[in-house]
Structures are given as structure tokens and as C-alpha cells.
Amino acid sequence: MEITAETSPNVTVVSISGTVDSGTAGALATSLREHAGNGGSHLVADLAGVDYMSSAGLRALLETVKEARQRGGDLRRAGVQPNVLRVLDLSGFTKILKVFPDVAAAAASFPA
Amino acid sequence: MEITAETSPNVTVVSISGTVDSGTAGALATSLREHAGNGGSHLVADLAGVDYMSSAGLRALLETVKEARQRGGDLRRAGVQPNVLRVLDLSGFTKILKVFPDVAAAAASFPA
Amino acid sequence: MSGVTTPGTLEAIQAFVVDGCRRAGADDATGFDLRLAVDEACTNVAMHGYAGAGPGPIGVVLESDGTWIRVTITDRGVSFRPERVEPPDLAAEAERRPLGGLGWHLIRQMTDEIEYHSDSDSGNRLVLGRRIKP
Amino acid sequence: MSGVTTPGTLEAIQAFVVDGCRRAGADDATGFDLRLAVDEACTNVAMHGYAGAGPGPIGVVLESDGTWIRVTITDRGVSFRPERVEPPDLAAEAERRPLGGLGWHLIRQMTDEIEYHSDSDSGNRLVLGRRIKP
Ligand SMILES: Nc1ncnc2c1ncn2[C@@H]1O[C@H](COP(=O)(O)OP(=O)(O)O)[C@@H](O)[C@H]1O
Ligand SMILES: Nc1ncnc2c1ncn2[C@@H]1O[C@H](COP(=O)(O)OP(=O)(O)O)[C@@H](O)[C@H]1O
């Protein structure tokens, strides 16, 4: 798994790629938790590069959604591969994470 | 497109298969509208057999969600093929239609 | 292929695109995506381009060089400005979502290149391109 | 394959399942699904079965007759009752969703057949089956 984050004053875009499983989800959760404190807790997860996600990854995403919303922000998503989309959907996460057609649209969806 | 409906006292399960496009979505909307009046407007759409859906189908689904909710019910979904799931997701409909792992779970999700 | 914008033609156009994508070596998901983009565009021609006027002529040509697939759609209906079609608010609750207004959004999602040209002599021409190889 | 329940083994098990599914002629989506089901089950063995005890032995065997793929997972951790694991409430708002509790739900979604057996002599054995041809 690789994580890169780009922070602008109003939003942090976290791009994740590779495998998100019980071995890597901890690092994802830590990274997301850090960023949830910045930019008004306005977070965008770009999942386009993720080719595998297990329930450990879902846990990291849910933890971040809760944390960000408690701070008045949110975690929104853009980009997802079909297999990972099915995992999100079967777990009720397509309802939890607001989706946008691309990273720019997700970033622009937050109030300035 | 084929539509079959199974009505029990509390819920109507509408199973849709084939192509849902501008040529067939009208018939889908009509059928769903009829059922929205029955069983407390508790509707389950089983999309497992749908191999194609265009925005005309999304329109029929949204119309039904609105109608059912106004009557205190809902339209929930179970079963979907990956390509159609992408269409729902890219259109924000994974957020609108509550998803369940199978028809039985979706049907059981409604209050008796 | 060409025909007039009736439901039968719209169905035949879908089959034509799926078939052309398969011949071009695209995978099923790509075939699905281009079918959807072309169907949305042609349905719009039938519903908006020829609104009131009844069915009118429509032409669909598919070309591929092995790296891209390009579908050209021509019609004689009213012209319009695709770039002015506003994106939908995907985050809105169901109650606030309008009925319709998703066609151009899906066309944009499913394609990598969009070109539109309109003049009174030659009518309207929309080219939808999708990359099939890196 | 066999090993002890460390992150490295869990990663190797995923690769082993993906590879076995490909050899059995399953498509990529099926390989993804079985990888997920087996990964969830093996992660549970590491996290719950051997909780406190540290890494313990785990075995994974994949078999296919061309119509089904069956993966058998064996371990010596605590036994439990998979059929008693409650399904999650998928319709709940994020704020009310618990962290965790999705592993068995995903295992059920991704498989067509689940068998579990446990006794003090032979330990725990979980068989996950998935149909790959009609
Ligand atoms: N071929 C066309 N000719 C004229 N107007 C069009 C055409 N295609 C689209 N439009 C205009 O653009 C709007 C948005 O189109 P679209 O996103 O497909 O949604 P919908 O067709 O559901 O309204 C239409 O409502 C129409 O006003
Ligand atoms: N191999 C196992 N050994 C013992 N208990 C288990 C095992 N697998 C699952 N469980 C129990 O079943 C529960 C549900 O498991 P699961 O659905 O995978 O969610 P999670 O692991 O996130 O709690 C676990 O919390 C645990 O109590």
C-alpha cells in the first residue's frame, strides 16, 4: 500500500493505492487520523489505485468518517475500482462515504 | 426487460432483468408506481438480472423512491451486476437506495 | 449505422456499439461504458434534438485504431451547448434530487474525449472517444 | 500452504489464493472474492483464534474440480460458532455503525458454501466453497 497526501488550506486529498488489508490498514488509519486534524477535517480519499480492500480497510475509513464529522468535516471519496466498489457496496459504505466523479469535484464539495 | 413482482402483506419485491433504457424505463416506472401503492409502500428492487441501465432507469428508480417515501415507505435494493453498480455509484444512487445483501434481508428490513 | 430516432433504432444502436467495441478488442466493461455514453447522447437527440418535430435522422459511426475507439453521432435536430450542461449534485438527498439531468454526467464519466460541432449546413456532430489501451 | 499467523503469512495466503483461482480457470472477480473471504477468515484466526497466545499455526488448502473452488483453512486456536455471528445493520448511519464486525458478513457474501467443524483432537477446520461454473 502507498499513501500520498496533498493538503491545501481547505482540504486534504489522500490518494491510496495497492493492497489495504489487516497488515496495512493500521498505517492507513494513522495517516488519515493525522490529516483529520487539518484543513477543517475536509478529507477526500482517492481510491482509484486500490486493487484490494478487506474489512480492515473499511474499519479505517469508518473511523476517519466518524472523527472528521465530529470535527464538523467529512471524508468523501472519488475513484474506485469495480471489485473494491462491490466491497464498499456490500458493506453499506457506498451510503456512508459521499461519492464524487473525480477528486476535483470532491474537493470542491466542501464549504470554503 | 422483464419485471416480476411478488407481493406479501408487508412488502413487494420487484425483480427486474434485461435492459433498462429509454425504451423500457417507462414500463418500469409504471409498474413500480402501481406497487408503491401496496404493502405500505415497502418496495424491494432486485436488480441482479439487470445487465444494462441508462439514466432513464435511474429516473424511474428515483421517482419511485420519492413516491414511496412520501407514503412513509421506501424502495430498497438487493442484487446488482458490477457494471450497473458503477452507474448507480457514479450517479449518487448508491447513497439514495439502501442496499441489502439479498432480497430476504431487504424485505425483512421494513417494519411489520 | 443510420436510421430515425425511434425506440427500435436506439436499441439497434446499443447493439451496434457493443459489437463494435468487441471487434476493436475492448473488454466488456469498456463496451458497457461506450454503449451507455452513445445511448445517452442518441436518446437526447430523440428527446430534445427532435422534440416536437417527431423522429428525425441520426447517424452513428464507430472507428478504432486499436488504442482509441471513437463514435461519431450526427443529427439534424436543434443545436445546443453540451459544455453548458451543469453537473448534478450527487451528494443531495433523494428528496432534493431532480428527475433527469444525469445523461450528460454519465457521458462525461464514460468517455475520455468529447467533441461537439454544429452548423446550419452540416447539422450536429458529436464525437465520443474512449482510450482502450495505455 | 501453511505457516504461522503473521502479517507476512496473511499476505502470502492472499497471493496463494489468487494464483490458485487463476489456475482453476476462475475470472478475476471470482479470484478477488475468494481472496477476500479467505483473508477475512485467516485474519480472524490471527486476531481472535490466537488472541493473546501470539502467532499460531494455520494451514490453507485450495482444491478445484473445474466447477467449484474449495479452500480449507485449519488452525489450533479457540473454537467458535460462525453461525452465531450476527449480520451488520447496513442501513445504519455512519455515526451508529460499530468499528469492525464486517468480516463474516463479507465471507458470506463472497462464498456459496460454508462448512465449519471443530474438535479438541483435530482443531478447527473451515471450508469456503465458491461455484465457478453453472
Ligand atoms: N441533443 C440535444 N439537443 C438539444 N438539447 C439537448 C440535447 N442533449 C441535451 N440537451 C439539453 O441538455 C439537458 C441535459 O441533458 P441530460 O444531462 O442528458 O439530462 P436530461 O436529458 O435527463 O435532461 C437537457 O435537458 C436538454 O435541455
Ligand atoms: N477464528 C475465530 N476464532 C474465535 N472467534 C472468532 C473467530 N472468527 C471470528 N470470531 C468472532 O466473531 C466475531 C465477528 O467476526 P467478524 O465478523 O470477522 O468481525 P470482527 O473480526 O471485525 O469482529 C469476532 O469479533 C470474534 O468474536
Q: Average pLDDT in the D12-37 region?
A: 97
Measure the CA–CA gap between B42 and B73, rounded to whole angstroms. Answer: 5
Measure the CA–CA gap between D6 and D43, rounded to whole angstroms. Answer: 9
Measure the CA–CA gap between D110 and A55, rounded to whole angstroms. Answer: 13
Question: Do B37 and B72 touch, CB atoms closer than 8 A?
Answer: no
The predicted pLDDT at position C91 comes to 86
Beta bridge partners of D61: D72
Question: Do B52 and B20 touch, CB atoms closer than 8 A?
Answer: yes
The predicted pLDDT at position B101 comes to 87
One digit per residue, the tens of pLDDT, for chain A of length 112 reads 999 999 988 999 999 999 999 999 999 999 999 998 776 799 999 999 999 999 999 999 999 999 999 999 999 999 999 999 999 999 999 999 999 989 999 999 998 8
Provide the grid cell at B47. Answer: 436488480
The predicted pLDDT at position C52 comes to 84
Q: Which among C29, C90, C105 has the least Cβ separation from residue A99?
A: C90
The predicted pLDDT at position B97 comes to 94
Average pLDDT across chain A, whole number? 94
The predicted pLDDT at position D115 comes to 97
Provide the grid cell at B75. Answer: 424502495
Question: Do D1 and D12 touch, CB atoms closer than 8 A?
Answer: yes
Q: Is the pLDDT of residue D57 over 90?
A: yes
Residue D54 or residue D10, greater confidence: D10
Average pLDDT across chain D, whole number? 95
**pLDDT digit string, tens, across residues C10-47:** 999 999 999 999 999 999 999 999 999 999 999 999 99
Q: Which among A22, A23, A62 has the least Cβ separation from residue D99?
A: A62
Q: Cα torsion at A88, A90, A92, A93 (round to 10°)?
A: 0
CA D76 to chain centre: 15
Interface test with B, best of C43, C45, C85 (most B CBs within 10 A): C43
Q: Whose CA is nearest to atom 18 of ligand 1?
A: C103
- Spatial CA neighbour of D87 closest among A60, B93, B46, B99: B99
- B39 pLDDT band, cuts 50/70/90, is low
Q: Is the pLDDT of residue C53 over 90?
A: no
Q: Average pLDDT in the D94-110 region?
A: 97
CA A71 to chain centre: 16
Q: Is the pLDDT of residue B70 over 90?
A: yes
Interchain proximity A90–B101, CB inside 8 Å: yes
Instruction: Count how many residues are written for chain B.
Output: 112
Could you tell me if the CB of C106 is within 6 A of ligand 1? Answer: no
Average pLDDT across chain B, whole number? 94
How far, in Å, are B2, C35, C41, C114, D109 from residue C64 at the CA level? Answer: 34, 15, 19, 15, 39
The predicted pLDDT at position A39 comes to 66
Using DSSP, state whether C69 is helix, strand or coil. Answer: strand
B66: CB partners within 8 A, 6+ apart? C94, C95
The number of helix segments (H) and strand segments (E) in chain D equals 3, 5
Q: Is the pLDDT of residue B40 over 90?
A: no
**pLDDT digit string, tens, across residues C79-124:** 999 999 999 999 899 999 999 999 999 999 999 999 999 999 999 9
Q: Largest alpha-carbon pair distance within chain C?
A: 45
The predicted pLDDT at position A53 comes to 98
Whole-number Å distance, alpha carbon D38 to ligand 2 midpoint, is: 13
Could you tell me if the CB of C103 is within 6 A of ligand 1? Answer: yes
